[in-house]
Amino acid sequence: MADIPPKLPPKLIDAGAHRRYRARASAGFAGVNYLKMAAVARLVDRLEGMKGGFALALDVGAHHGELGRAAIASGKVAKMVSLEPAPPMAAMIPSGLNPLVMDYDAAQFFPNMFDAVVSGFALHWVDDFAGLLVRMRGWLRADGLLLVALAGGASFAGLRACLTEAESRVVKGLSPRVLPMGDVRDLGALLGRAGFALPVADRDCITITWQDPFAMMRELRLMGEGNALAGRVKHFTRREILLEAAALYQQRFGTSDGRVSAEIELITLTAWAPAPHQQQPLKRGSATHHLGDFL
């Protein structure tokens, strides 16, 4: 009797749709890249605080190469390889940043190839983030740096809730619209499971305002952040749903000057490929002082 192949888990992200959305966004992305630049600022700030530099780094989800340019300008990175899934977006990356067109989940490199792997505001669209972390760990040399900023689960929570409620009211049902994004504790735990040393995960939030909910949704599309869930309904959202969602959002998240606001959570992950000389945690029970002595 022939062996039955193991059943693969269902795909969460439609990589082809995500690639198309980024391709459509490529020409105008520089005009709406403020979330990308917020992630870049946080990552470069951490790079500048580190001792030494990195000869060869990989930027995963490079957009127009914003992070690569800033990392090299900081003096901390000598050479960058820029991985971008959408060919038209990759075409906007300067040739000096070595653009490479490849989907996140298909990316493969030689073991121990890079001194650093970085990413700014892209990896919330990875289908298998835990698996990608394991592969990134393999691409890094000993004591190589992983430095990633991505959207956390609190991002645009109000918009997602209003779209869900509006669809439930209008069509008495729900379709997949909400991208499940991790929280800071879960993402930090994944670093340890992937074999990284000295993992650190932290979060901060940015509040941005728009003229109205439609302006916010329009800019998300212009960023290439459209709904690329594999199980999404593949037709235009009904006008009644959008109007109802916009009314709900204006009511709940309107500002005193008539605009609307949204909170975007940025989670920054920092970790290192293990190396013999790194600091190690002490063994459990090896302490020589009791915490109560200091409290």
Segment among 114-118, 235-239, 283-287 with least mean pLDDT: 283-287
Rounded mean pLDDT of the chain? 89
What's the pLDDT tens digit per position in 43-60?
999 999 998 999 999 999
| Res 230: pLDDT | 72
Segment among 27-31, 139-143, 171-175, 213-217 with least mean pLDDT: 171-175
pLDDT mean over 178-188: 80
* Res. 1 pLDDT band, cuts 50 70 90: very low
- Using the predicted structure, report yes or no on whether residue 167 has a pLDDT greater than 60: yes
| Res 10: pLDDT | 66
* 269: nearest Cα among 155, 127, 117: 117
More confident residue, 87 or 105: 87
Give kind and range of the element (H or E) at residue 160. Answer: helix 157-171
Tokens 């952040």 locate to: 225
Q: CB neighbours (10 Å) of residue 33?
A: 19
The structure's pTM equals 0.87
* Res. 94 pLDDT band, cuts 50 70 90: very high
What's the pLDDT tens digit per position in 122-147?
999 998 999 999 999 999 999 999 99
Q: For residue 150, which amino acid is it?
A: L
- Using the predicted structure, report yes or no on whether residue 164 has a pLDDT greater than 90: no
Residue 229 CA to residue 224 CA, distance in Å, equals: 13
* 116: nearest Cα among 142, 140, 138: 140
* Res. 168 pLDDT band, cuts 50 70 90: confident
| Res 77: pLDDT | 98
- Using the predicted structure, report yes or no on whether residue 88 has a pLDDT greater than 70: yes
| Res 108: pLDDT | 93
List all residues 6 or more positions away from 61 whose beta carbon is below 8 Å from its beta carbon. 83, 84, 85, 104, 119, 120, 121, 122, 123, 125
Would strands 77-84 and 54-60 be described as parallel, antiparallel, or unpaired? parallel
| Rg value, the chain, Cα | 21
pLDDT mean over 20-24: 96
Rounded to 5 degrees, φ, ψ at 73 are: -65, -25
CATH class belonging to 15-273: alpha beta
Contacts 24+ apart (CB under 8 A), 44-51: 44/70, 44/71, 44/74, 46/147, 46/268, 46/270, 47/71, 47/74, 47/76, 47/77, 47/147, 48/74, 48/76, 50/76, 50/145
* Res. 29 pLDDT band, cuts 50 70 90: very high
- 3-class SS at 39? helix
CA 219 to chain centre: 17
What's the pLDDT tens digit per position in 248-270?
999 999 999 999 999 999 999 99
pLDDT mean over 280-287: 59
pLDDT mean over 217-246: 83
CB 60 within 8 A of CB 93: no
- Using the predicted structure, report yes or no on whether residue 86 has a pLDDT greater than 60: yes
| Res 193: pLDDT | 95
Q: Which two tokens stand for residue 255?
A: 């500002």
* Percentage of residues of the chain with pLDDT beyond 70: 85
More confident residue, 292 or 51: 51
* Percentage of residues of the chain with pLDDT beyond 90: 70
The DSSP code sequence of the chain is -PPPPPPPPPPSB-HHHHHHHHHHHTTTGGGSTHHHHHHHHHHHHHHHTSSS-EEEEEEES-TTTHHHHHHHHTTSEEEEEEEES-HHHHTTS-GGG-EEE--GGG----TT-EEEEEEES-GGG-S-HHHHHHHHHHHEEEEEEEEEEEE-TTTTHHHHHHHHHHHHHHHSS----------HHHHHHHHHHTT-EEEEEEEEEEEEEESSHHHHHHHHHHTT----BTTS-SSPPPHHHHHHHHHHHHHHHB-TTS-EEEEEEEEEEEEE---TTS--PPPTT--SS-GGGG-
